[in-house]
Amino acid sequence: MEIQTQPLDDIGQLTLTELDEMPLATLEKHINLVNAIKDTVRHYEAALHASMNKRFSERAAQLRQEAGKSTGTVRFEVDGFVVIADLPKRPEYN
């Protein structure tokens, strides 16, 4: 998988002076592009985290149960990676 970074690289190569001299419409175009890329990245990141959660949540719950706890952090190894699964305590209100 090749990551396409050319639009961001083009913006990143501009100096502050070049940005200062750029027409407002062009600045807006660049800002809109960066915002669209950030939205896409958020979507991809959410999908990747959901996949990780789906893949490891059952094992993490099993390890918590074996340790006699319903929340907290458990660690386990998968394919040479250490997975750290944290389930914080939720406050109870009366």
Within a domain: 62: yes
- Which amino acid, 17? T
Q: Is residue 83 within 8 Å of 75, Cβ to Cβ? A: yes
Within a domain: 75: yes
Tens digit of each residue's pLDDT (9 = 90 or more) over 11-30: 989 999 999 999 999 999 99
Residue numbers of the domain that contains 46: 6-87
Within a domain: 61: yes
How far is the C-alpha of 47 from the C-alpha of 32, rounded, in Å?
A: 23
Tens digit of each residue's pLDDT (9 = 90 or more) over 69-90: 999 999 999 999 999 999 988 8
Within a domain: 94: no
Within a domain: 92: no
Number of separate domains in the chain: 1
Question: For residue 91, what pLDDT band results from cuts at 50, 70 and 90?
Answer: confident
Question: For residue 49, what pLDDT band results from cuts at 50, 70 and 90?
Answer: very high
3-state DSSP helix/strand/coil % of the chain, to nearest 5:
60, 15, 25
